[in-house]
Structure formats: structure tokens, C-alpha cells
Amino acid sequence: MNNESMRPGYVPLNSASKICLFGVGVSLSDCYQQLIQSLGRKPDYLCDNSPGKWGRQFWGVSCISPEELGRLGERIAVIITVRRYEDIHLQLSALGLKEIFVACFDRAYDIVGGIHRLGDEQLAVSHESFVNPVRGRWTLITGAARGIGRQIALGMAGLGSNIIAHSRQIAHTRELADSCAGLGVEVLPIAAELGDPQEVEALLDDLEANFPPIDLLFNNAAISLPCGADPWNIASADFQAHFSINTIAPIRICYRLIPAMMRRGFGRVINISSTIQKRPGEMAYACSKAALNKFVHDLAPSLEGTGVMMSLVCPGYVRTDMGGPNAPYSVESVIPGALLGAVLDGDINGRWFIAQDYAGLDLPTAMKKAKFYYAQDQEV
């Protein structure tokens, strides 16, 4: 093995004499220099499906059309730089291209985690038998009465997990309890205002004293309140309100529940977060979620070997009371992606799961995609 192949992120591209990065978008813009370091060279071409980009230069590299890319033949390696790569993989294969890879991003869109070879097996529906790790276990979901929390509760109940459904008021979870009970699981309601530290502690005391041991936790409850049109005048009270519910409450819940999970040797903690950025008017919400992300990123490695794993989920901009009626994605689209941190084993501590990457897939196929995407030791 030579020194070149020892370089972190090195990708041997077989006999390919040219390299093309496909997808001139946000991910490429944010991670272009990282990709160059991984490849050890600049690409020869860029390519995109948007005609408005054809013939233009980005970072001093020309963007060509897919038709032009196809004419370059088999001696070019194409690296897809978008997360939803399946349709592009089919498109490139139809053009006769053979050397096809995908840049796999970690921690949302900010870090290149690897460059993995794509084969036809990545497009196939998974036929592996699904070993259900959550059946009969107890799952606590905060903010379970509606929106994303309700979808997660129904999804977990469908897998046979019993549900502890949190909301501000017990009455809010009655409809959810009826729906989950119809799936053959037990549902226990619990109520607390997570913006009140005393209520959070009372909730945790109640859970420890009167409820079954919690095996899985979805920290889902959150707020995103309007803070006015002027980002320079967001009040301290707005930051305090967002941090109380979006950051401090889930951290307190983790601190109380995770040690018991560690003693039992099993636990999954999934924190619903956001990739929101560069929107100053929503700074209070964005900062509260960034703080939660930092908590998970720094704490998760300490759980190695305990049987407890912690991850993050970005559900995407979905049509809920928080997201509003004009959001691009239905609330149902968060499943199965939002469940991956509960059902996957292995190296998922501190992982980001982008729920919309898995929309429309069945759970086994979503799991197969996630394992491929986040694998650390793939042959390329």
C-alpha cells in the first residue's frame, strides 16, 4: 500500500481517467473543498440536470449536460453529490456509465463522511428478514399528540412498541391512544409543560416511580415562535422560551433516563432536530436546535459499549402546525426515516438521519440504504 492510498478519504477510482461531480447544489457548494481533499484532485467536469447551469463554470470547472457526460464513455468516474441519489443513479446507468459513486454526507450536509461505489444492489428493494428490536419495549415520545410526534407514535406502535405519549394535557393524547391501541399495544399518557423546569422534573419523577422502564426515547416536542420581522431585535425572552423547550428539556430528560438504560444494557435516544441555517429571523429556534445537536455530538461517543445509542433526525420542512400549510412535505413522509435511530444497530451514535432521504421506502429498504450510506469500511 503506497502513501497515497493511506490519505484520509482516499478513493481509488480504478482506471477512470476523468472525474465528474454530478449535482451542482447546496451540498456541493458547502463541501466542494472537502471533496477535492478526498479525491486528491479537482474534478474534470461538473454536471447537473438543470439546463441553466450547462456551459457555466463553478470553481473554475465547466458544467456539462448529462448528454455530454454520456458521450465521455466508460473511462469517467461520476460522483453524485446529492442525498437522494437513486434516480440519478438510474439516469447515469441508462447513459452507459459504469463508474458511479455517491458522496455520503454526515452531520446533516456539512461533512463528507465517505465516497461509496454504487451498484445495482443499492437500488433493489431489501428482501432481508427484519429483526424487530422494539417489539414489546416501551417508547416515550414527547409532543406525541399531533404532527411529527403522532406519526412517530403510530410508526413505533405499528412495530409493536408500547407507547408513553407525552403532551401538555392528557386529553390531547386520547385520539392517539385509541389509534395505537388498535394496533395491539399499550398506551400510557403523561402530561407536562416542558417550558417549566419544575414540571419537567415532576414528569421525570412520575416516570421513574409509576411507569414501566423506558427503552426508547424520542425527544420530539419543540416550539418555533414568531420573533418579529427584525432579526436584530429578537428579545431575550424569545431565546429563553426556545431554549427551555427545545434544548434544556430534552437534555434533562436524557440525563434522567439514559443512566437507567445503561444499567439495563439497552436504549435508543432519538432527538428531533433541524438543519435550519442562514435564516436570521428564526435565530432563537435555530440556536436552540444547534445547541441540542452539540449536546448529542459530544455526549454520544461516551455511550460506546453501553448498549445505548443516541442519534439526531431532521424531519424536513413538513406540513404541521409548526411548519404551516405551505411546507413542501407531508407529515407522513417522516416515516420511516424518523424511526431509523430506533431500529438500527451498530455505529449510529451521534448520527444524523435526514427523514426525507427515506420518504416512500419501506422500513427494511430504508435500513439497507442507511447502512450503505453510513458505512465506514466500504470497498470502492
| 196 & 234 share domain | yes
Q: Can you tell me the distance from the alpha carbon of 254 to that of 268, in angstroms, rounded to the nearest whole number?
A: 11
Give the pLDDT score at 127.
67
Does any domain span residue 26? yes
| 290 & 342 share domain | yes
Q: How confident is the model at residue 126 (pLDDT cuts 50, 70, 90)?
A: low
State mean pLDDT over 19-35: 94
| 198 & 92 share domain | no
Does any domain span residue 132? no
Q: How confident is the model at residue 300 (pLDDT cuts 50, 70, 90)?
A: very high
| 115 & 167 share domain | no
| 148 & 112 share domain | no
Higher pLDDT pick, 324 / 364: 364
Backbone angles phi, psi at 261, to 5 degrees: -60, -45
| 290 & 184 share domain | yes
Angle at 309 between CA 180 and CA 182, to 5 degrees: 5
| 94 & 14 share domain | yes
Full domain range(s) for residue 200:
138-360
Does any domain span residue 377? no
Which CATH number do you get for residue 85? Answer: 3.40.50.720
Does any domain span residue 80? yes
| 108 & 216 share domain | no
Domain count, the chain: 2
- Which of 97, 122, 147 is at the close of a domain? 122
| 102 & 153 share domain | no
Does any domain span residue 365? no
Least confident of 149-158, 355-364, 368-377: 368-377
Give the pLDDT score at 186.
96
Does any domain span residue 327? yes
Q: Where do we find the cell 481517467?
A: 17
pTM of the model: 0.88
Across-strand partners of 76?
Answer: 18
pLDDT tens-digit profile of 195-238?
999 999 999 999 999 999 999 999 999 999 888 888 899 999 99
pLDDT tens-digit profile of 307-341?
999 999 999 988 888 778 888 899 999 999 999 99
Higher pLDDT pick, 161 / 11: 161
Does any domain span residue 185? yes
| 255 & 184 share domain | yes
Q: Sheet containing 187-191: which strands, arranged edge to edge?
A: 187-191, 162-167, 138-141, 216-219, 267-272, 308-314, 352-354
Does any domain span residue 367? no
- Given a contact cutoff of 8 angstroms between Cβ atoms, the answer to whether 242 and 250 are in contact is no
Higher pLDDT pick, 8 / 65: 65
| 180 & 109 share domain | no
Phi-psi group of 333: left, alpha or beta (phi > 0 → left; psi -120 to 50 → alpha; rest → beta): alpha
| 77 & 190 share domain | no
- DSSP three-state, residue 35: helix
Q: Can you tell me the distance from the alpha carbon of 57 to that of 63, in angstroms, rounded to the nearest whole number?
A: 6
Angle at 354 between CA 291 and CA 337, to 5 degrees: 120
pLDDT tens-digit profile of 341-357?
999 988 788 889 999 99
